[in-house]
Amino acid sequence: MAAMKTIPYPRKVLALIFFISLFNYIDRQVLYAVFPLLKADLRLSDTELGFLASSFMIVYMCFAPFVGYFGDRVRRPLIIGVSAVFWSVSTLLSGMVRNYGQLILTRSAVGVGEAGYGTVSPSYLAEWFPGEKRGRIMALYALAIPVGSAIGYLLGGFLGQNYGWRNAFYIVAVPGMLLGALALFFKETPEKTERCEPVALKSYKALFTNRTYLLVAVSQAIGTFSVGGLAAWMPSYFVRNFEVSVARAGFLFGLVTVLAGVAGNFTGGWAADWLRKYTKRAYFIVGYSSFFLSVPFGVAAVLTGSLNMCLGLLFFAEFFVFMHSGPYHAAIVETVPVNMRSMAFALDIFIIHAFGDAVSPFLVGIVSDAAGLPVAIFFAVIYLVLGGATSVLAGEAYEKDFPGPPGQGRGLRARAEA
């Protein structure tokens, strides 16, 4: 007990948010791991299975702005805790369904809970740390995406195979409920408690005049588009081009993605905080470097005829593209005032998914049918060049619209109050 009391409060917040984020993605991805079992037990078509993922994403991105409004007005640990309990209970109920309609309902409810959490947690976590550490802190936050996704696939497959798909849902739901209950007792940040004055609904239009914020969101959407397309189609690419089994293809891609995600997130966050000592454009330098450096490795991965060489090149392509995640979360906190940050992240969630991974698997599939899968993946990788260009523009906009030392959304606040 004495040791626990010596842990600084921000680190307790970091640990809580990281583990809730981890189970956020575990609960999300466990569904895909038990697809074959669901298909056999509930007699579902591939189209019906695919719509389970789509229903979650549609609800997730559409509900986020609604939560964002209340996230700027209500104590955020309350929203985080209630959201985590809600999606965990929905995951638990997914194991009790008797038909496809009930499963659609429960998975859509998971989207509601995760939208509530994803909208308020980044700003809540970032505000507990000074600006010079936020790149690394937000990189740790983003680290839960590849790690949680991988655990979700592995844990879901193991539990589903050995204990049944219903028990898989039951088991992974429990930690989220416990962590959500714990979050209810956490404090709001001093920054929001002392400085936050609720803004009128019409004041949120200032987000649409914040060029830096919008360009960051567009850049993230481009990265999400490409990563989402690769996640959907690279295992099939391995099967078709290197004649490996479906199981091995999924394992290899998952392993490369986890390793690249961990290394890329850490490197991007550290590099941004280090560069921030020398230039206020640090987040954006890491951002456009992330996009531009990933392209040649991704292109080379498609062109090589060796599986091992493809895996190595793909690791570096994903390593670089993951580097922008932490710095760009920190950039949103940097350029948006505290009383608008929940809505800012809500709108960001909508943009990156609506124009990213909600459409990329489908569009890559269309190009694949017309010209072949290698060509489709090639264009998905080349598209990242546009993310580099928008990142350069974001850095220029930040330099012009937020003069002086790195601040807390002063330019946007001034426009909102005008």
293 vs 261, which has greater pLDDT? 293
Secondary structure class of 403 (helix, strand, coil): coil
Quote the pLDDT of residue 155: 83
Quick one: tokens of 310? 């493809």
Cα–Cα distance measured from residue 79 to residue 340, given in angstroms and rounded to the nearest whole number? 16
Cα–Cα distance measured from residue 110 to residue 119, given in angstroms and rounded to the nearest whole number? 14
Quote the pLDDT of residue 35: 80
CB 32 within 8 A of CB 158: no
Confidence of residue 409 (pLDDT cuts 50, 70, 90): very low
82-96, 183-197, 236-250, 348-362: range with highest mean pLDDT: 82-96
Residue 26 has pLDDT above 60, yes or no: yes
Average pLDDT over residues 268-272: 93
A 10 A CB-CB count for 340 gives: 26
Cα–Cα distance measured from residue 372 to residue 238, given in angstroms and rounded to the nearest whole number? 13
417 vs 89, which has greater pLDDT? 89
Average pLDDT over residues 68-75: 85
Q: What Å distances lie between residue 243 and 239, 287, 309, 378, CA to CA?
A: 5, 35, 15, 19
CB 269 within 8 A of CB 290: no
Average pLDDT over residues 237-253: 81
Which residue from 110, 86, 112, 116 is spatially nearest to 28, judged by alpha carbons? 110
Reading phi first (left if > 0) and then psi (alpha if -120 to 50, else beta), residue 404 is in left
Cα–Cα distance measured from residue 180 to residue 176, given in angstroms and rounded to the nearest whole number? 6
**Helix or strand (DSSP H, E) at 182:** helix 165-183
Contacts for 55-58: CB closer than 8 Å, 24+ residues apart: 55/104, 55/107, 55/108, 55/111, 56/28, 56/31, 56/107, 56/108, 56/110, 56/111, 57/111, 57/353, 57/357, 57/358, 58/111, 58/358
**Residue-averaged pLDDT of the chain:** 88
Residue 329 has pLDDT above 70, yes or no: yes
CB 253 within 8 A of CB 234: yes
Confidence of residue 407 (pLDDT cuts 50, 70, 90): low
The tens digit of pLDDT for each residue in 207-227 reads 999 999 999 999 999 999 998
Quote the pLDDT of residue 196: 61
Q: Which domains does the chain have, with CATH numbers?
A: 1-196 (1.20.1250.20), 200-418 (1.20.1250.20)
- Given the structure tokens 């038990």, which residue do they identify? 34
Residue 293 has pLDDT above 90, yes or no: yes
Quote the pLDDT of residue 4: 45
Quick one: tokens of 163? 């204990």
Residue 3 has pLDDT above 50, yes or no: no
The tens digit of pLDDT for each residue in 86-143 reads 999 999 999 999 999 999 999 999 999 999 999 999 999 999 998 888 888 998 898 8
CB 318 within 8 A of CB 50: no
Q: If you write DSSP's letter for every residue of 65-96 in order, what string do you get?
A: HHHHHHHTTS-HHHHHHHHHHHHHHHHHHHTT
Cα–Cα distance measured from residue 381 to residue 314, given in angstroms and rounded to the nearest whole number? 11
Residue 344 has pLDDT above 70, yes or no: yes
Residue 289 has pLDDT above 70, yes or no: yes
Average pLDDT over residues 369-380: 90
A 10 A CB-CB count for 196 gives: 17
| Lowest-confidence segment of 4-8, 154-158, 360-364, 407-411 by average pLDDT | 407-411
Confidence of residue 5 (pLDDT cuts 50, 70, 90): low
Quick one: tokens of 228? 């989402």
Share of the chain above pLDDT 70, in %: 94
